[in-house]
Amino acid sequence: MCGRFTLQISPELLAEIFGLLEMPVFPARYNIAPTQQVAVIRSTADGRNRLDFLRWGLIPSWAKDPSIGSRMINARCETVHEKPAFRHAIKFRRCIVVASGFFEWLQEESRKVPLYVHLKDGSPMCFAGLWDHWKSSEGETIESCTILTTSSNKLIAPLHDRMPVILHREEHRLWLNREVTDPEKLKQLYQAYPADLMEIYPVSPLVNSPRNDLPELIKPIVP
């Protein structure tokens, strides 16, 4: 699964990758947790990409209250086309959740050791995501999102059987294309990212608390 991730990407790089007309402004984040705001790329009606900030944990438009979102931070790619919470969004409301890396935990005898996963070349991780729009009876509006997961590659498998669906740069256009509404055309994107392009190392247990959001959280430590 994906339950904690980071975002330290230069606005210039993000604008170049996604062809953004406006230079995004956002702080570096070192411990993004569910229900917090995350950076997402969505395609507009005129085919351009834009950066928005959505709540992490998808709240379906039909939900009675937003608390369901805390249980919807991930969506399994194998069933996303069938689940009531996601089957509309997978057709019409896809997005890319932008990250620099994510955390996993290794279970040892009496403790869990936090590990940081990122791409070896330092490029952004672009998670396949879905979003939805929820409105309360009082008029409160929340836009929220979820991250798709797939079976883990050999690097992540010893830690967890699921990992985020990480899109290659050449796959961004298809995922964000609003004219593609046939889920079958998207299944080719649900492959585990190649393990040899990723790197993992142990980090400080300070990451265990979402209250901590510091650069020190992604510094390697000696096991």
Q: Which residue of the set 77, 95, 104, 145 is catalytic?
A: 104
Residue 82 annotated as catalytic: no
Residue 104 annotated as catalytic: yes
Q: Which residue of the set 2, 77, 126, 145 is catalytic?
A: 2
DSSP string, 9-72: --HHHHHHHHT-SS------EEEE-TTSEEEEEEE-TTS-EEEEEEEES---TT-SSGGGGGG-
Instruction: Look up residue 157 and give its DSSP letter.
Output: T
Q: Which residues are catalytic?
A: 2, 104
